[in-house]
Amino acid sequence: MFSYRPPPVMRIGSIDLPNNLFAAPMAGVTDRPFRQLCKRLGAGYAVSEMVTSRRELWASLKTSRRANHDGEVAPIAVQIAGTDAAMMAEAAAYNIDRGAQIIDINMGCPAKKVCSKWAGSALMQDEPLALAIVDAVVAACAPHGVPVTLKMRTGWCREERNAVRIARAAESAGVAMVTVHGRTREQGYGGDAEYETIAAVKAALTIPVVANGDIDTPHKALEVLRATGADALMIGRAAQGRPWIFREIAHFLASGTPLAPPSVLQARQWMLEHLGDHYSLYGEQAGVRTARKHIGWAVRSLPGGEAFRAHMNTLESCASQLSAVSLWFDALADRYERLPLCEVAANDDLVSLRA
Ligand SMILES: Cc1cc2nc3c(=O)[nH]c(=O)nc-3n(C[C@H](O)[C@H](O)[C@H](O)COP(=O)(O)O)c2cc1C
């Protein structure tokens, strides 16, 4: 029988959240416009792309865009990445000055650029360093009343799943919430996420624990909540091009019934508003280029989407991109009232058509 009771209040430190469905930090994806869209479409919380702790890069266009929170719906959560405790403490203070209300430490990212500098999930291999970073960041945030959260994997490799040990120590050090992606560093994004280690972390802590990894449908969301006992879920890749997944999951968890896909005209409106917001952050040239991936994700599972995606790469101005998107969705609306979506699994495979 269907049953799910959400936690009465979802809270990070003293900050209340509207629900327990979170958008995962994804570098190059969860910029401010995308986070806003996710929050609008049902995410109770969204974390920024990681911001480096290397001070010399803070003035770069890339980092200053990541640290720009103009008009962002609270709470503003910024993820920081680095390898040196003092620099991470400084990065926390820098982002608090720019509006961060929650600081998240990246101990989950397997990207080479991060790991070769001994940051991200590589930190899980050096527990003393990981905990020195946690201590330093907590100490920097405490005077501002800013909670610190930690995002990690299950461990470094299969034989070294030390998530429970690190999570316990982080809780003792004052961390307010832990998110666990159910893969080891060694796995990258391969194989399937496992949820036993997340369940073990949840059982070991009193602070909220967030389950992450391969949650791509409302049914899977319920399954992961049941398997882990987690307080919240974090969704990454499945929200790319489908940011309304948060409200689909919320609806399903509340009622046990699926939510109808959005109407084509509604999806068109969301896409156009997202593009407008996107261009205003990135400007014309970078905006058009970086919007292509969002448009591609939005149309990839729709009839004719692949051809349209290829056409997008030939357009070079905001006006032509907006107009093409608008006309494409209008034509789709002539054929369908609601999005004739294929379910897109986390690995991008099309698994079933639910026209
Ligand atoms: C393109 C991309 C960028 C990512 N960037 C970050 C990041 O900056 N920080 C981080 O902690 N995790 C990052 N991740 C990992 C996600 O937050 C998440 O843990 C992972 O994708 C598993 O969740 P999912 O199966 O719901 O996608 C990234 C993932 C992707 C696909």
What is the sign, positive or negative, of the torsion defined by CA atoms of 246, 106, 151, 140? negative
CB 194 within 8 A of CB 223: no
**Tens-digit pLDDT profile for residues 116-130:** 555 666 888 899 999
Using a 6 Å cutoff on CB, does residue 26 contact ligand 1?
yes
Q: Is the pLDDT of residue 176 over 80?
A: yes
Q: What angle do CA 284, 285, 290 make, to 5 degrees?
A: 100
Rounded to the nearest integer, the mean pLDDT of the chain is 91
pLDDT of residue 355: 25
**Phi and psi at residue 311, in whole multiples of 5°?**
-60, -35
pLDDT of residue 117: 56
Confidence of residue 342 (pLDDT cuts 50, 70, 90): low
What is the mean pLDDT of the segment spanning 245-254? 97
Q: Judging by beta carbons within 10 Å of its beta carbon (0-12, 13-18, 19+), is residue 188 exposed, middle or buried?
A: exposed
What is the mean pLDDT of the segment spanning 264-277? 98
Using a 6 Å cutoff on CB, does residue 124 contact ligand 1?
no
Tokens in use for 272?
């156009």
Measured by CA distance, the residue closest to atom 23 of ligand 1 is: 213
Q: Ligand 1 pocket: which of 45, 181, 347 to mutate (most atoms <8 Å of CB)? A: 181
Using a 6 Å cutoff on CB, does residue 242 contact ligand 1?
no
Confidence of residue 185 (pLDDT cuts 50, 70, 90): confident
Residue type, 297: W
Kindly give the distance from the C-alpha atom of residue 25 to the centroid of ligand 1, in angstroms, as a whole number. 6
What is the sign, positive or negative, of the torsion defined by CA atoms of 297, 271, 28, 158? negative
Q: Ligand 1 pocket: which of 21, 26, 216, 242 to mutate (most atoms <8 Å of CB)? A: 26
Confidence of residue 137 (pLDDT cuts 50, 70, 90): very high
- Per cent of the chain over pLDDT 90 is 79
The alpha-helical segments, DSSP class H, found in the chain are: 32-40, 61-66, 85-97, 112-115, 127-141, 163-173, 196-204, 218-228, 245-255, 264-299, 305-312, 318-335
Q: What angle do CA 67, 21, 154 make, to 5 degrees?
A: 80
Respond yes or no: is residue 109 known to be catalytic. Answer: yes
Confidence of residue 354 (pLDDT cuts 50, 70, 90): very low
CB 281 within 8 A of CB 32: yes
Better pLDDT: 350 or 316:
316
What is the mean pLDDT of the segment spanning 282-302? 96
